[in-house]
Amino acid sequence: MRILAECDAGMGTQAVALKYQVSESWVRRLKQRRRENGEISPRRSGSRQEPKWLPYAKQIEDAIEQHPDATLAELREYLGLDMSVPTLARALQALQISFKKKSFMLKNKSARTLRHGVSSGKPR
């Protein structure tokens, strides 16, 4: 790594930080990590933790097949899993399962509707 090579060549922490546009504390932590662990490669960013729902993916898919009109809360109850509704929603999104419910409500008869391009006859 170039930063450590500059430090090893005798360049100061502040000078190296300015040259590579990083913070001095980061350069010090990098040198400390190499000294303590011998680790110089970049660390992975973010969490790589497996999603909580992943072991239950097949169960979730089967439950959707058996109960296609269930809400997320009902689906969670049916599965009996200790997982939140938002987690279940993320699972369905990741599994690419559409979860749109059909509306079986009657059309509103009290609201006027006009066809596209037809004038209501009222002046503007």
Instruction: Write the pLDDT tens digit of every residue in 19-72.
Output: 999 999 999 999 999 999 888 887 777 777 888 889 999 999 998 888 888 888
Contacts of residue 99, defined as CB under 8 A and 6 or more positions apart, other chains included, come to 64, 72, 89, 92
Report d(CA 84, CA 98) in Å as an integer: 18
Report d(CA 53, CA 89) in Å as an integer: 10
85-97 pLDDT, tens per residue?
Answer: 999 999 999 998 8
Q: Does 107 have pLDDT greater than 80?
A: no
Structure tokens at 18: 């300015």
- pLDDT for 26: 93
Tell me, yes or no, if the pTM score tops 0.85. no
**Crossing angle for the helix pair 72-79 and 85-94, nearest 10 degrees?**
90
13-23 pLDDT, tens per residue?
Answer: 999 999 999 99
Largest CA distance in the chain: 86
Residue 111: which pLDDT band, with cuts at 50, 70 and 90?
low
Task: List the chain domain ranges.
Answer: 2-37, 54-94
Residue 39, CA distances (Å) to 7, 35, 45, 73, 109 in order: 15, 8, 15, 46, 71
